[in-house]
Amino acid sequence: MKPNTQQLTELTTQVRRDILRMVHAVSSGHPGGSLGCAEFLVTLYQKLMDRKEGFNMDGTDEDLFFLSNGHISPVFYSVLSRSGYFPVSELATFRKINTRLQGHPCTHDKLPGVRMASGSLGQGLSVAVGAAQAKKLNKDNKLVYVLMGDGELQEGQNWEAIMYASAKKVDNVIATVDLNGKQIDGPTEDVLNLGSMKAKFEAFDWEVIEIAKGNDIDSIVAGYEQAKAKTGKGKPVCVLLHTEMGNGVDFMMGTHAWHGKAPSDAQLEEALKQNPETSFGDY
């Protein structure tokens, strides 16, 4: 039984609390992009993906997800734990010595749910496309999802993979670009203007779905149902997900300042007040 919008909204609020508390506890990490992708990852894991119980590295006969922009690990870890991959209590170990929840995700410590290391940007799409081709060889008709940041598309390897995926008709991959328009040094249009993402992906012969309200769960569900319907037709599928960095915490929105900065005690208190504890409970 898949959760409804209200349940997903409540879980998103809890995930936001997790992100804020995890980052605050170690005074490091990346809350901005994590908060911006909370609705998406909650919806993806709870409603959109066809997942099996437990974790198997090969992920045979289930949908796979790869996080390419590994710095938004707080939201990834929170959603993984709240989707049953490991105990929620383990979120308290984020970025601490001997943790499985490294600053950026890795497979080295065998954290269930993670299939590749990411953090050095621009590598996830290639890995996802390779995994998608392996699925085809294995006659496994499930899908491969990958999330990339928009600033991350400045890395050239992405464009090798984008060119390859359409040339080889890898039509079982759905690549999401988190279009929040911000990166560490400022707005992407100031740092290195990416121009029209839609035109670029279309020029590389991808199907492109645009979700204007990327922090609205119903819009996300509708957009990805559309994206799924485009798979299996000879072209890879790209979702341009317009999100708000820092979403759900008023003073973290509309700025790139919280890309990689942790809140102070007072800021945490204020942020948590805006996102009260839910029935899922704090870790």
Q: Which of 50, 58, 185, 190 touches other proteins (CB under 8 A)?
A: 58
Write out the H or E segment, with its range, that includes residue 19: helix 5-26
Q: Where are the beta strands (DSSP E) in 132-219?
A: 144-149, 173-179, 182-183, 186-187, 207-211
Give the x-and-dash track for 15-54 against other proteins (CB under 8 A): ----------------------------------------
Q: Which of 4, 27, 120, 264 touches other proteins (CB under 8 A)?
A: 120
- Asked if residue 119 binds other proteins (CB under 8 A), the reply is yes
- Asked if residue 130 binds other proteins (CB under 8 A), the reply is yes
Q: Count residues contacting other proteins (CB under 8 A)?
A: 39
CB 43 within 8 A of CB 221: yes
The DSSP-derived string for 202-271 is HHTT-EEEEES-TT-HHHHHHHHHHHHHHTTSSS-EEEEEE--TTTTSGGGTT-STTSS----HHHHHHH
- Asked if residue 240 binds other proteins (CB under 8 A), the reply is no
Count the alpha carbons within 13 Å of 221 in the hemisphere toward its beta carbon: 14
- The residue (of 109 and 225) whose beta carbon lies closer to other proteins is 109
Q: How far is the CB of 57 from other proteins (least distance, A)?
A: 7
Q: Which of 32, 36, 59, 149 touches other proteins (CB under 8 A)?
A: 59
**Which is nearest to 223 in space by CA: 176, 173, 153?**
176
Select from 6-14, 45-53, 60-68, 243-251 the region that touches other proteins (CB under 8 A).
60-68
- The residue (of 96 and 168) whose beta carbon lies closer to other proteins is 168
**Dist CA 71 CA 36 (whole Å):** 13
Q: Which value, to the nearest 10 degrees, does the dihedral of the CA atoms of residues 254, 256, 257, 261 take? A: 120
Q: How far is the CB of 248 from other proteins (least distance, A)?
A: 30
Give the x-and-dash track for 151-180 against other proteins (CB under 8 A): -----xx--xx-xx--xx------------
**Dist CA 42 CA 8 (whole Å):** 7
CB 110 within 8 A of CB 80: no
- The residue (of 7 and 157) whose beta carbon lies closer to other proteins is 157
Residues that bind other proteins (CB under 8 A): 57-60, 64, 66, 106-108, 115-120, 123-135, 137-138, 140, 156-157, 160-161, 163-164, 167-168
